[in-house]
Every structure is written in structure tokens, then in C-alpha cells.
A and B are shown apart, each in its own frame.
Chain A
Amino acid sequence: MPKKAKIRARAAALKTMFEDAGANPVETSLLQPAEVLLDLYGEDIRARAYVTSDALRGEQMLRPDFTVPVVQMHMDHGAEPARYTYAGEVFRRQEDDPSKPNEYAQVGYEVFDRENPAAADAEVFALIRKGLGDLDLRAATGDIGILMAAVSGLNTTQRRKDALLRHIWRPRRFRALLDRFSGRTPAPQARMAMLAKPDPMTHDFPRIGLRSDAEVAARIEALKEDAEAAPITANEVALIEALLGVREKLPYALEHLRDIAVDMPAITEAVYCLKDRMDALQAQGIDVDALEFEASYGRTSMEYYDGFVFGFYAEGRPDLPPVATGGRYDALTRVLGQGREIPAVGGVIRPGLLLELEGAL
């Protein structure tokens, strides 16, 4: 059987397994309107997705994943609760590594359910694990929600918290902001000089462009507020760092996070959620004592996961991308739902990688 046919057959089998678990099969278009994806991901998506266009519909993207169109479909006319499955090709631009495919199959399972998020998380994880068969895979798990709770609970200005939350998925900028807000790196001299002027808005430069004087003045006000605000304490920074450094088997990670929560009560609720998820995973037959948890896992992926995150990796094959990935993306339903939202979690398997690892290709 040719490679593609084998992959397609495995994809169909996985989809059937998801249907047997209660999912409705759905289809999405190969061409997606670029606007929605650009609005969600910004320019970064252009480095990842193929863009094409015509005079009538404007810019279109070759589907880089199924999650966005499936969420849109559900938000437009889905009944609740809902479980969906799909299979098909996704397309990813490769700018640097010719060994990475720019077209490959994905099979996914998505759950939209308000009732019990921990149970839904565990259901998705266990089902994806089942789909991967007996392969020797390492599971990585994390929870972006804990870091978000920690940032939201910092004893500092709302503006600083918003800036940090906005960059949860860009670890380098997050770090730079945290260093700035805690006074570890001083504010740039040009900024200090500008703020020291009696009226920075008095100048001879012509006013050009859409960004108005009022917007510039508002930002100067924000910078003044920031200059006057007390730095985030070294103690709080140390707690964030301790949190980001948590990486151990799930039960120990939970203990560790409980310890951190004593000094950082803002994460208490999120840590309870982690406990609920651990129990739910155990109820699904997952060996949680052997499951790795990494608090910073999932921060460098595209920014829609905001809770549970997971990935399955082939042992001894660091050259390969994860065979399966998934996570919770409640915020995405909020953005695409135009005022409505629903807790959502899902995962995808790459049947091509699965077959490759089984030696069947």
C-alpha cells in the first residue's frame, strides 16, 4: 500500500475510535479565511501557514489546524455538550528545516462541555493515549492556568499584570517584563528623560498618522503610573520562578505547588483543579505516579491553550515532533464566540508519525 493510503487508513481507524467514544464526525474547508487566523495569531501565523488569495474573497490560508474552524462551527450552531472528531491534512510552511513535512494528516477529538472540566481533560488525554496504542511514548503535561493565576494574583498594578498575561506565551518578553517590573533591570534612560520633562507632549514635531496625541498622552500616563508603582517584590518573583521550575512526577508536582500556594494563595484554586484532574486521570486508568508534569510546558506553542496541556513524544527520538498534542482552550471559544464561551479541550494525533514509529511506513 502506498504511504499516503496507509496513513489515510490509520486516520480513518482513529476517527472511528473517536466516533465510538461519542464524537460527531465533522469536516472543515481546506481554505480558511485568513482574517480570523490573522486576528487570532497575528503575523506569526504567516510564518506557519500558506497564504493565497483571489480578487473575490481576498486572503485565504491553507488550513494550518482544525481547532479554529471546529470551534467556529460549534460557536455558530453547536448543541451542548458536544464531542467532535475529524481527520484530514493540515499544511505548515517550513522556512528552515527541509526535513519537516509541510503537509501531514491529523486526527482530532474535541470536547465542549461545561459540566466537569477535569473529567473532560482526562477523557481527552486517555482517549488520545489509547489511540497511540502500545508505542513507548513519553507523556509531557502542564497547566498554563496555574501560571495565569499566579500572575493575576501578583501584588502589583493591573497594567503590569495585563502586560505579563499578554506575554505568557512569549517566555523571553515575559522574562524581560518581569525583570523590569521588579526593578532588576532599570527603565531605559530615554524613557526616564522623557518622563522627567515637565510636559513631554510639548514638542514641534508634526502630528502624523492614525495614533493620536490622546493615545500618546495615555501611554505617558501609564508609564508615569508604572514609574511610581512599587516594584514587584523579590519574594514574588522568586515564587513565580519556583512555579515555573516545577518539573517532576505529577503527585510530587502537586505537593510542590501546594507548598508554593501557601505563600501564593492566588494559585490555590488552580492547584485544586490540578488535583481534580489527577483524580480524573486516575479514574481513567492512567498511571499518574509515572506522569510527568512541567509547569512551563506549552508556553512556546501557538497561544490558545490556557489550561491543561499535553504532548506525547517518542523516546529516544528528539528529532521528531510530538506524535500527539492537546490542551484546554476556553479563551479561544471566548474570542471566536462573540460574547459566548464554553469550556473546551481537545487533542490531535499525527497518524503518519505513528506509523513511522511503528516501522510500518
Chain B
Amino acid sequence: MTIKLGVPSKGRLMDKTFDWFRARGVSLARTGSDREYAGAVEGVDGVELVLLSAGEIPRELATGRIHLGVTGTDLVREKLARWEQQVEEVALLGFGQADLILAVPNCWVDVDTLDDLDAASAAFRARHGFRLRIATKYHRLVREYLQDNGVADYQLVDSQGATEGVVKNETAEAIADITSTGETLRANHLKIMSDGPILKSQATLWRSRVATYSDADRLVLSKLLDTLR
């Protein structure tokens, strides 16, 4: 009988989310010890705060275990098939901006566009006997993007962190990752492909289209959304 609101459980994303709600008269706070993922909501009745890892929020929305959730566009698009049918975008929160990009070593002076990457991949496979490796954690988004653009002879290798380092370590030849300023990329001697980002992402408040809403829930939800607008 409450509206469940999922919010990232730590870090800047949590702090900024709390700020965003506070600026609109809704106070969110972690309760109990620092290690306990419980929260409190003040300023609106009937809303329960659920602290979750940002990566789990898309799935929780899609199963309807939470009614509202804050997470990045990138994670929703990566994790949910037919995302439009499962969640609705309520508000762009104006922070957490990041682009999902493809990057290759600076020393590849011959590679600037997907056309180049495709040709380089063909030659790489012929020379090395395996497909050019692109390290990423965004498998679906990257695969769909490369398939749509007719790039062949690559393979995706999983990288859940420190992705910028894989080229130097020779566990991949290129990367697809989220970046906001590009600084880490530059520090690791990588350049962004000029075709533009695969996706532009930012922190977003989503509503689950799958969750069940009682009449009381609907009332609480519309009141909350009014307060936030």
C-alpha cells in the first residue's frame, strides 16, 4: 500500500538524487548505520525509499517490485528489452551525464570512423587469427550499434571495471565505455571514434509500467509527481 521508490544506494549518484528531491520539497535519507540500506522519506506520505545498486534498479522496475526508480538511461537500455513498454521516463534529473562511446588507441592514426574500424577489424582478424576485441560491459547496446552500422569481424569481451586499461594490458584492442569528460580515456592514450556516441545518458526518474498500483497508490503517485514537477 505504499509507492516504492528505488534510489542508488551510494556515492555521488545517491547524494545528487537526494539533492534533487530535496530541492522539490521531498527529503530522502538513509537511516540506521552507514552500512544498512534502509531509508526514510519526509514531505510526502505513502512513499517508501528502497536503496539499491544503480545496476539493479532497471530489473526491479521491470519486475514491478518498485514503482519508481532513479538510474541512468544507459543501464535501462542495456538491461531491458523493449524498455519503452516496461518503464516510462518521468523526469531527466540533469546530472550523471555520460556518453557511451567507442574508443581506440591514439596510435591508430588510420582509424577515425566506424568505416575505419570495420576495415581494421578485417585486417586484424586476417593477421592475428582472431576477431578484434572490444572490451565493454554494455554488450547489448554495443552489439546492436555495430550490427546496425554493419561492422564485422569484432568480438566483445566482458569488462566490468577499469576498462580503459585493457588495451595497454593487451586483453582487448578497443573499448566501449561510459565517459563524461574523456579524461580517463586521454590518460590511457585512447581516442573517441568520431561517429558520435552510441548513446547519451543521464540520471533519470523512471516509472514502472509493470508494477501494480492500488487506487491509494495512484493517489500517492500523482501527489508525489505533482510535488516533483
Question: Chain A residues in contact with chain B, CB under 8 A?
Answer: 38-39, 42-44, 46-47, 95-96, 163, 166-167, 170, 172-174, 176, 180, 188, 190-191, 194, 200-201, 203, 205-211, 213, 215-216, 218-220, 222-223
Contacts and interface: CB of A to CB of B under 8 A. Distances in A.
A144 B109 CA distance: 36
B217 interface: no
Contacts of A207: 107
B150 A216 contact: no
Interface stretch (B25-33, B110-118, B207-215): B110-118
A275 B151 CA distance: 35
Nearest to B167: A209
A216 B109 contact: yes
29 contacts: A38-B155, A42-B153, A46-B143, A46-B156, A96-B82, A170-B152, A173-B118, A174-B150, A176-B150, A191-B112, A191-B113, A203-B107, A205-B106, A205-B109, A208-B105, A208-B107, A209-B168, A209-B170, A210-B128, A210-B173, A211-B105, A211-B108, A211-B132, A215-B127, A216-B107, A216-B110, A219-B119, A222-B119, A223-B110
Given A173-B152, A215-B120, 13 more contacts: A44-B147, A46-B143, A47-B143, A96-B82, A167-B152, A170-B150, A180-B115, A188-B112, A188-B113, A200-B110, A205-B105, A205-B106, A211-B132
Nearest to B134: A43
Contacts of B113: 188, 190-191
Contacts of A47: 140, 143-144, 147
- A interface majority secondary structure: helix
Nearest to B155: A43
Contact of A43 (B108, B110, B116, B154): B154
Contacts of A213: 107
Interface residues of B, number: 43
Contacts of A176: 115, 150
B173 A205 contact: no
Nearest to A195: B110
A173 B113 CA distance: 13
A222 B107 CA distance: 17
Interface string B145-184: 0111111111110000000000110100100000000000
Contacts of B139: 46
Residue of B115, B124, B173 with most chain A CB atoms under a 10 A cut-off: B115
B147 A215 contact: no
Residue of B108, B140, B143 with most chain A CB atoms under a 10 A cut-off: B108
A42 to B, nearest CB: 6
